[in-house]
Amino acid sequence: MTGATFITHVQVKLNRLDTAAYEDVRPEEVIFFANDALKSLTLGFDLGYYSQLVDRQLLDVYLAGLHKVQPELVVTGNEVALPVTVLKVKGLEAFVVKGTESGWVDTRRQTNEEVPNRESNPFLNSFPDMPNWRLIGGKIKFDAVGFNCTKVRYDYLATPTVITEGSTLTYPFMPELEDKTVILILENLEARRVQTQPAVTKS
């Protein structure tokens, strides 16, 4: 299937819902949401969320093609930038230096949410044998006090190839991609309509 055919399929599904409401959805909008849908589905498949109608072996081949290994990267000031091709960091090791001791250790990812009593919670503390890291502004940043992280190596899920009108699409989950694209378009259109509704007072 080409990208142009994919656009037609999505537009047909939208028109079946309500021709008058969705007839003005442009091809570039379909492509935009298709790429978001592809990323979302890829992340879900990586976590094991997939329809029984999807061929699991073909899906595994698809995911294997996106699984990459990053050689060692130098960390400066306990932070390192991620390439834009990274969709999801799967596993990450850090080379920790503390005094005269050093070595590769596993790490633990922390959310960027404020957690009450983070500093006093031993399960959330960052230690030399298991340093914490956060993803902030496209950078891996380590919580390192009393030690330094000087290098990292990791494996990751790469961002899928961008869909265009001229693309040849051979994903083993084409119906799911079409449906997810339709859902994202509908959510976006309905959200815009709600925002443009006049305010109603109860006076």
Domain that holds residue 91: 67-158
Task: Give CA–CA dist 153/91, Å, rounded.
Answer: 9
Q: Report yes or no on 165 lying in a domain.
A: no
> Partners of 117 in the beta sheet?
none
Q: Are residues 152 and 178 both part of a single domain? A: no
Per-residue pLDDT of the chain (203 residues; tens, 9 = 90+): 999 999 999 999 998 887 676 778 899 999 999 999 999 999 999 999 988 889 999 999 999 999 999 999 999 999 999 999 999 999 999 999 999 999 999 999 988 666 556 566 666 788 999 999 999 999 999 999 999 999 999 999 999 999 999 999 999 999 999 999 999 999 988 765 544 444 444 43
Question: Token pair for residue 38?
Answer: 């592809």
Would 120 be classed as within a structural domain? Answer: yes
How far apart are the C-alpha atoms of 154 and 78, rounded to whole Å?
15
Query: What tokens appear for 1 in the block?
Result: 């299937």
How many domains are contained in the chain?
A: 2
What is the token pair recorded at 42?
A: 């890829």
**Could you tell me if 125 and 177 lie in one domain?**
no
Q: List C-alpha distances in Å: 94 to 63, 103, 137.
A: 25, 8, 19
Look at residue 36 and tell me if it is in a domain. Answer: yes
Domain assignment present for 130 = yes
- Judge contact between 41 and 177, C-beta under 8 A: yes
Instruction: Judge whether 200 lies within some domain.
Output: no
Q: Is residue 164 part of a domain?
A: no
**Residue 59 covered by a domain:** no
Digit-coded pLDDT (tens) for 91-116: 999 999 999 999 999 999 988 666 55
Q: State whether 101 and 127 are in the same domain.
A: yes
Please identify which residue in the block is written with the tokens 């443009």: 196
Whether residues 74 and 47 share a domain: the answer is no
Rounded CA Rg of the chain: 22
Query: Residue 125: what pLDDT?
Result: 83
- Asked if residue 181 lies in contact with residue 112, where contact means CB atoms within 8 angstroms, the answer is no
- Domain shared by 45 and 106, yes or no: no
The pLDDT of residue 6: 97
Give the per-residue pLDDT at 202.
Answer: 42
Residue 60 in domain: no
Q: Are 185 and 37 in contact (CB under 8 A)?
A: no
